[in-house]
Amino acid sequence: MLYNIKKPFATHHIQLKHHQVYYEEYGNPNGVPVLFLHGGPGSGCNSSQKSFFNHKKFRVIFIDQRGSGKSKPRASTKDNTTQLLIMDIEKIRQLLDIPSWLIVGGSWGATLAVAYAQKHTSRVKGMILRSLFLGTKEELDWAFLKAPLKFRPELISNMISVLNMEKVNSPINILGKMLESKDVKKRALASELWLEYEGNLSTLSYEGDNIKSIFENKNFTQKRLNSLPNTPFLEWHYIKNNFFLKKNQLIKEKKKLENIPISIVQSNYDLLCPPSTSFIFSQELNKTKIHKINRAGHYISDPGVKEKIKELLDDF
């Protein structure tokens, strides 16, 4: 049974040169401090993520990263890097006078959690990570090309077809260039196609996609333009910049985390963040444990995933 969702007991924002970063405090003001890092990049926090936190036990800090959620301006990539997000996190920790905290994050949130912990090791009590992603080229090649070729051949075939690609390759690079177009309708189309493609790689069950119908729908009303997905723009910004990480940085520096208890919730059928990543990362980290979830994909809402995170939090 997950917890009932309460309202935050405090909301804040910090004003930066090009960004206003929103964050809120949830649960018990005197509870165990927890930092929650959302995925994407760009997805922002939402109320459902509060349901696995015991609001009597924890003081949870939910941060909408630059360009995400309630932070402004929306989808802004200006001054938006991994290093600057880490600086924001550390500034918020200091403002809230929190000596150290537990970090919870999934997918990109897990990437950022590892990067932050390697920079500020003494500030981390422990980590509960879901769908570990380490920002490597090999992971991207698997997620957006090799995995769909093996497990979603119809999906990638439809995308290659509408994009008129001459050879089989990752559609992400072409969509990324479209996202940078000066043509607002081309950007809009790319963002919707990106979301459809990634969403069908995230789900456990694939019964067909809307790639062709999205591509053929050229009726770009203002309402449609106003409701474009946020994540494709920020995800492409981070992907094309190698997530602002050195090659294999998070793997090479993982020994910095050897004294931090780390629990990794890993779904066995996660196409975007496969079990191999968690396994490789956990080697030689004696305080790291992988918790396997059967019959689940990438989504936190898949059976058993959120329940396992709640269980680990209750046991912390």
The tokens 């995308």 sit on which residue? 159
Question: Do both 152 and 235 map to the same domain?
Answer: yes
Residues 16 and 64 in one domain: yes
User: Would you say residue 32 lies in a domain?
Assistant: yes
Is 263 in the same domain as 309? yes
Number of domains in the chain: 2
pTM of the model: 0.97
Residue 166 has pLDDT above 90, yes or no: no
Residue pLDDT, tens place only, 114-125: 999 999 999 999
Domain identity same for 166 and 23: no
Same domain, 119 and 152: no
Place of tokens 């929306």: 74
CATH number of the CATH domain containing 95: 3.40.50.1820
Q: Sign of dihedral through CA atoms 172, 174, 175, 176?
A: positive
> 67 and 40 in one domain?
yes
pLDDT at 226: 87
Q: Return the residue matching tokens 């069908």.
A: 200
124 and 27 in one domain?
A: yes
In a domain, 282, yes or no: yes
**Whole-angstrom Cα distance, residue 254 to residue 115?**
9
Do 187 and 264 lie in one domain? The reply is no
pLDDT, residue 167, reads: 86
Chosen domain end from 218, 242, 266: 242
pLDDT digits (tens, 9 = 90+) for 22-60: 999 999 999 999 999 999 999 999 999 999 999 999 999
Domain boundary among 195, 213, 242: 242
Same-domain check for residues 41 and 122: yes
Domain that holds residue 44: 10-135+245-315
Q: Is residue 197 part of a domain?
A: yes
4 occurs within a structural domain: no
**For residue 65, is it within any domain?**
yes
Cite the active site residues.
Answer: 107, 270, 298
Where a domain ends, among 242, 265, 293?
242
Question: Is residue 218 very low, low, confident or very high in pLDDT (cuts 50, 70, 90)?
Answer: confident
Q: Same domain, yes or no, for 144 and 115? A: no
Mean pLDDT of 238-255: 98
Residue 3 located in a structural domain? no
How far apart CA 140 and CA 157 sit, in angstroms, is 18
37 and 119 housed in the same domain: yes
Please indicate, yes or no, if residue 75 is contained in any of the structural domains.
yes
Residue 303 lies in a domain: yes
Examine the domain organization and report whether 25 and 100 are in the same domain: yes
Query: Minimal CA–CA distance to 60: which of 131, 114, 110, 9?
Result: 9
